[in-house]
Amino acid sequence: MTRGEDGAREGEGRLIGRSVPRREDPRLLTGRGRFVDDIALPGMLHAQFVRSTVAHGEITAIDLGAVRTVPGVVAAFTAEDLKAGDIVARLDRPPQEFVPTAMPVLARDRVRYVGEPVAIVVARDAYAAEDGVEAARVRYAVRPPVTSEAAALADDAPLIHAEAARNTLVDVELFATDGIDEVFATADRVVRVEARTGRQNALPLETRGAVAHWDDREEQLVLHTCTQVPHQVRTVASRCLQLAERAVRVVVPDMGGGFGLKCVVGREEIAAAAAALRLRRPVKWIEDRKDALSASFLAREQHYAVRAAFDANGRILALDADVVCDMGAYSCYPFTAGIEPLMAAAEMPGVYTVPAYRVRGRAVATNKAPSAPYRGVSRPQYVMVMERLFERAARELDLDPVEIRRRNLITSFPYTGVNGITYDPGSYRESLDLCERTLRAEGWYEKQRTARAEGRHLGIGYACFSERTGYGSAAFAQRKMAVVPGFDLSEARMDPSGAVTVTTGTMSHGQSHETTLAQIVADELGLDIDKVRLHQGDTDRIAYGWGTFASRSAAIGGSAVRLAAGRLGDKLRALAAARWDVPIDRTALGRGEVFRRDDPDTAIGYVELAELAYLRADLLPKDIEPGLTATASFDVFNDGTFSNATHGTVVELAPDTGRVEILRYVCVEDCGVAINPQVVEGQCRGGIAQGIAGALFERVTYDAQGEPSATSFMDYKVPTAHEIPDVAIHHLETPCAFTETGAKGAGEGGTIGAPAAVLNAVNDALCPTGVELDDTPITPETVHRALHRRHYQESTR
């Protein structure tokens, strides 16, 4: 909020901070959205994939002869037929720290998970394509599958990537504060948590999909695809298909969610493009739910072995963590298999003042579908572990669990942590206080006492966390990514009728950019928001953009948008200043006009200036170029910014079913300036629902042969409105000092806090039983066993 204050006319209402109704909604709610599956092109064919039925093995034969005789089938291609290059994601780390795993677009000699695409069948409709898939005959020489991180790490583990000497793709030891072992040896108390978190699917409502065709006139592959990262898909497609980047145009229409699963490049979208190139006909591929659940990208299967040293007052002295992430079979572009362990290792100390830290982070390959970032990336897990550590320490030291947090929260900013990260100001303490105060005021502590007296299991749990957002180039470079997804670009263009189109390199897939980024532009220019339109999702329209992930769009994309709008505003002011023959700083913007600061009633409307800039270039001063466009980039060259929140929840356990009922959920969040509070609340609620899903419901499991057990919603419990409580949301606002909007980002926070809060609340409810749970999801069976421990012990005796 540094700039533009001067650009607003006195008394003019600003839009930033207001819950402007979502401008996407009229379209989406009246069925006028356009999703990838809505795209129909003349002569379009439909693709489905022959997928591996074994988790690990050599392909000894692929026979597509019968496929090609299926009525309606037009073509079927193996990797050898398609000749597409591999998708390669790299870290610039030494070989002992990182093993790259090229992911072929279609499996060649080897398959590494059930569902891995082996061949693509293209037919006149999706039914014929499915029939074609059925007719494929692929023979495998089955190898023993690796189905857990423990198995992957075993000395005699089968190697998943023959060219690598081990299954550990990433292995880093970081920080290792001098003398940390002595701290542990001499501490008053050492508490430990060992936790496993379940493998999850980000599960966007809209599955993945693509429509590819070769535009013969433009000499461009046009790839309509459902991605969070259009330009990154372009880069990968151009490399795999040996086309110049300009010869690939990625267009993204409306999207029904992504949650990170669509911020990596999918092999199927590249395969569909390769098939369209070969056939010179449009090819559509729409992922079905079975493939989405089992063969797309997964996340979150992690194992933590952590200990923390505390003094007698509950102050944390040291943290020692070993994190192993089961990343599935391949590194995904661009984040690699390092995404989860590196995130956990770098950021685990979180909101707490941890004086000494050591962490080992490992990514291991297993014979499962590969992992992608999923909302929060490791933070739901390590926050859960940290919050468990404090709860356990509190219990062991007989401290109030809120009080022990207060004693350890960072309260003085900027704070440079033991992990080398500098945390910008946040409301860590204030959010905890307000969250606790709210639950107390609502009488939940009394209700808990009453319940316990009645033998009911009611628990209260908290989670304090911050979330690094606004990762710029510097932050990703710290992770040693070989491509550094940092900056964003924006172009603001006023047309001759005075309407503004702003183009962004970010890609809303539910984040409401058409509303929020337009609010920024409208404020910056002092223009009615109805005259502002956002354009996104077309790689031809802006030189590059890293897309939308890591809660970056408001902080980075929004800043680029604001800078571009500001430069456009400067040009409007220059035009008016020239007309008045006054210095530009004597002018300001507001209400669709440039006005004179010294005489606000003297004004020239944007429409008049726009006509001048385009249609009467003869009247322009010679030093002003015609037209009204401006571009800007924005990047972050520090450690980024930190949103923070405290979640508090109250649960009751049902003794007969083991069901965890969430009675109350309070979120106190601080994402800096909330450009649109309603949008922030939507992000919180959705994120919390996904966090609860991870805490209580969702888990992808595999059998001993590496066969995924969850291939439909019959087997994979997705919570509905029935399971998700109403959430009370309180906003605090600590503006970010270095983003152009003061916004920090709010995309992931909800998901991060919920598992810890729910797990803590369940443990609090279980307190009388003496059982503590550390793994998620917490299934009804687990709760039932905890509540009826004696019964189970007797029955197994």
For binding to its own copies (CB under 8 A), which residues are involved? Answer: 27, 32-34, 40, 42, 216-217, 219, 235, 238, 244-247, 253-254, 473-474, 476-477, 483-484, 486-487, 489, 493, 495-501, 531, 533, 535, 540-541, 543-544, 614-620, 622, 625-629, 631-633, 635, 637
Q: What is the dihedral of CA 642, 423, 363, 197, to 10 degrees?
A: -60
Q: What separation in angstroms does the CA of 44 have from each of 47, 214, 224, 226, 727?
A: 10, 11, 13, 18, 45
- SS3 call for 558: helix
Minimum distance between the CB of residue 729 and its own copies, rounded to whole angstroms? 31
Rounded Cα distance, 53 and 61, in Å:
14
Nearest Cα to Cα of residue 537 among 177, 141, 254? 254
Minimum distance between the CB of residue 229 and its own copies, rounded to whole angstroms? 13
Beta strands 316-326; 302-310: pairing state: antiparallel
Cβ 334 vs Cβ 481: under 8 Å: yes
- SS3 call for 238: helix
> Cα-flanking dihedrals φ and ψ of residue 119, to 5°?
-155, 155
Q: Give 186 or 242: the residue with its C-beta nearer to its own copies.
A: 242
Minimum distance between the CB of residue 670 and its own copies, rounded to whole angstroms? 28
Q: Give 68 or 493: the residue with its C-beta nearer to its own copies.
A: 493
Q: Give 365 or 484: the residue with its C-beta nearer to its own copies.
A: 484
Q: Give 629 or 705: the residue with its C-beta nearer to its own copies.
A: 629
Minimum distance between the CB of residue 103 and its own copies, rounded to whole angstroms? 19
Q: What's the number of CA atoms in the CB half-sphere (13 Å) around residue 253?
A: 19
Q: Give 484 or 673: the residue with its C-beta nearer to its own copies.
A: 484
Minimum distance between the CB of residue 541 and its own copies, rounded to whole angstroms? 7
Minimum distance between the CB of residue 764 and its own copies, rounded to whole angstroms? 44
Q: Give 528 or 707: the residue with its C-beta nearer to its own copies.
A: 528
Cβ 320 vs Cβ 385: under 8 Å: no
Minimum distance between the CB of residue 385 and its own copies, rounded to whole angstroms? 30
Q: Give 486 or 682: the residue with its C-beta nearer to its own copies.
A: 486
Beta strands 220-225; 532-535: pairing state: unpaired
Minimum distance between the CB of residue 572 and its own copies, rounded to whole angstroms? 14
Does an H or E element contain 130, and which? helix 126-135
- What secondary structure letter does DSSP report for 291? H
Minimum distance between the CB of residue 594 and its own copies, rounded to whole angstroms? 19
Length reported for the chain: 797
Cβ 650 vs Cβ 460: under 8 Å: yes
Minimum distance between the CB of residue 67 and its own copies, rounded to whole angstroms? 30
Nearest Cα to Cα of residue 415 among 475, 357, 355, 464? 355
Minimum distance between the CB of residue 350 and its own copies, rounded to whole angstroms? 25
Minimum distance between the CB of residue 20 and its own copies, rounded to whole angstroms? 17
Q: Is 726 exposed, middle or buried (0-12, 13-18, 19+ CB in 10 A)?
A: exposed
Rounded Cα distance, 750 and 789, in Å:
33
Rounded Cα distance, 717 and 712, in Å:
9
Q: Give 54 or 628: the residue with its C-beta nearer to its own copies.
A: 628
Q: Give 100 or 401: the residue with its C-beta nearer to its own copies.
A: 100
Minimum distance between the CB of residue 80 and its own copies, rounded to whole angstroms? 25
Q: What's the number of CA atoms in the CB half-sphere (13 Å) around residue 746?
A: 37
Minimum distance between the CB of residue 246 and its own copies, rounded to whole angstroms? 5
Q: Give 102 or 474: the residue with its C-beta nearer to its own copies.
A: 474
Q: Which token pair is 583? A: 């210095």
With vertex at residue 37, the alpha carbon angle to CA 35 and CA 39, rounded to the nearest 5 degrees, is 80
Minimum distance between the CB of residue 628 and its own copies, rounded to whole angstroms? 7
Place of tokens 């390959």: 365
With vertex at residue 779, the alpha carbon angle to CA 777 and CA 784, rounded to the nearest 5 degrees, is 145
- SS3 call for 315: coil
Q: What is the dihedral of CA 419, 420, 425, 428, to 10 degrees?
A: 10
Q: Give 376 or 498: the residue with its C-beta nearer to its own copies.
A: 498
Cβ 170 vs Cβ 344: under 8 Å: no
Q: Which token pair is 293? A: 């659940």
Q: What separation in angstroms does the CA of 562 have from each of 1, 528, 566?
A: 10, 15, 6
Q: What is the 3-state secondary structure (H, E, C) of 381-429?
A: HHHHHHHHHHHHHHHHHCCCHHHHHHHHECCCCCEECCCCCEECCCCHH
Q: Give 238 or 516: the residue with its C-beta nearer to its own copies.
A: 238
Nearest Cα to Cα of residue 343 among 375, 311, 389, 388? 375
Q: Give 482 or 584: the residue with its C-beta nearer to its own copies.
A: 482
Q: Give 626 or 768: the residue with its C-beta nearer to its own copies.
A: 626
Q: Give 620 or 663: the residue with its C-beta nearer to its own copies.
A: 620
- SS3 call for 121: strand
